[in-house]
Amino acid sequence: MARGYASGVRLALDEQIFAIQAYGGISRMHAEIARQFLTHPELEVELLPLSVPIINRYVLEDSFLSASLGVKPAMNEWTALGRYFARIRVHPKADIIHNTFYLPHGLAPTRGARRIVTIYDMIPEFMPQTRRRLDLFTLKERYVHRADHIICISHATKSDLIRMYPDIEAPISVVHLAVDPTFTPDSPALTDLPENYILFVGHRGQYKDAQVLFSAFSEIAPDFSDLHLVCIGGGPFNRDELALFEQLGITHRVKQDVLSDQRMSSAYANSQAFVFPSRYEGFGLPALEAMASGTPTILANTTSLPEVGGDGAMYFEVGDAHDLSNKLRLVLSDSSLRQDLTSRGVSRAKEFTWLRTARETADIYHCELGSRIESP
C-alpha cells in the first residue's frame, strides 16, 4: 500500500527551541525535519512562518530555511525569549501546533489546532541533580497532559515517560532521530588530532560516566603506547579530571578539543573506536554519527543505546570499566572484528534518515486530522 493523504496540513512549529538554543540536538532535529517538509511536497505539510526573532544558527545560517520560515535574528537569547513570551496567540491558520520545548507560554490555547509534543528524555525527572536553570521553568508534565499526541524519540524514552506519568491519555508514538549524510567513512584525517586515538564526544559529567572510560583507557594504555584518548566538546578538563589523569598515569595521553560540525565526521572516521559510556540517554545521536562514519562503536548496554546501535555496535556492562577495557582491547587487537563492526555499523546507520523521520512525523499529523488515506 502506498502512503497518501486526503488533504494537506498547516503546521505551526513553535519557536521555543529556536529562541533558546543556538546549537544543540533538539533544535537540529526540528530544523532537519522542517527542511524535509519544505523539500518533499508529497508529505503535504505546509510550514507556517515563524513569528518571533530567533537565535538558532542551524536555521539562521541556512539561507533556504531562514527564507522559507521567514525568520529574523534576535540580538540575544533574552530578546528572543522576550518576544516569544510577548506573543499572545498561536498562528490562526494552523491545523497542528508542534511544541518544541516546555516553556509556559507554549501552553497558550491552540484555537482548535491539534497539539503535538515531543519528549526527548526524562533525565531531569529521574536525575533531579542534573537540572539546569532553564529546567526550573519548564512544564513538561502539563504539556504531556494537554497534548493530543506525544512523540518520543526512542522506545526507552516512551517507557520512562509512562513510568513517570502513568495517567497520560494521549496516544504516544516513537519517531527516531536520524544522522546527517555528511557523516561518511571516507572523511579525511585531521592533522591537529593524534594519529591513533579513541574518541569520546559530548559532556563528561554526571550520568555521562566519562570516568569509566578514563579508567578503562588507563588499563589498556600500557599495551598500546601510541594510543590517545580524544574528548570532543564538554569544555576544558576540570581540576578533578586533571587530578584523575595524574593518578591514572594518562595525563599526556588525553586531549580535549572543540570541532565544528563539518570536521566531526573526520574525527569519527579516523578514530580507532568510539566509546559512549553514558548511563542514560534519550536517544544517543553520537552513536549513530560514529556508526555512519565507519567507526567501531562501543556503547553502554543501557536505556536507548542498544535500541539505536542494534547489531551495529559492541556493548559493555554499564559502569564497568574493566569490562569496557576488555572490549576496547578486543577491538584494537582484532582487525577482522573492526572491519565487521564497521560494516554492520554503516548498514545500521543507513536505516536512520531525516526523510524517514519526517514521513513518520507527517503521518502523525495527518492521522490527528483524520486525513491519512491508503491507496493502492
Mean pLDDT lowest among 50-64, 154-168, 216-230 = 50-64
On whether the CB atoms of residues 176 and 283 are closer than 8 A, the answer is: yes
Q: How far apart are CA 213 and CA 315, in angstroms?
A: 13
List, as one string, the DSSP characters of 206-232.
GGG-HHHHHHHHHHHGGG-TT-EEEEE
Q: How far apart are CA 137 and CA 131, in angstroms?
A: 11
The mean pLDDT of the chain is 91
Q: Which amino acid is at 198?
A: I
On whether the CB atoms of residues 293 and 184 are closer than 8 A, the answer is: yes
Tell me if the domain spanning 2-178+353-375 has CATH number 3.30.70.2860: no
Q: How far apart are CA 298 and CA 305, in angstroms?
A: 10
Across residues 195-213, what is the average pLDDT? 96
If pLDDT is split at 50, 70 and 90, which confidence band does 92 have?
confident
Instruction: Please indicate whether residue 308 or residue 73 has the higher confidence score (pLDDT).
Output: 308
Q: How far apart are CA 271 and CA 155, in angstroms?
A: 30
Query: 87 pLDDT exceeds 70?
Result: no
| DSSP E strands, the chain | 2-5, 9-13, 45-47, 96-99, 114-119, 149-152, 172-174, 197-201, 228-232, 254-257, 273-276, 297-300, 314-316, 372-375
Identify the CA nearest to 92 among candidates 52, 51, 36: 51
Query: 134 pLDDT exceeds 80?
Result: no
Across residues 23-27, what is the average pLDDT? 90
DSSP category for residue 276: E
pLDDT of res. 133: 58
Query: 82 pLDDT exceeds 80?
Result: no
Domain spans, the chain? 2-178+353-375, 197-349
Joined grid coordinates for residue 351: 536505516
Which top CATH class is 197-349? alpha beta
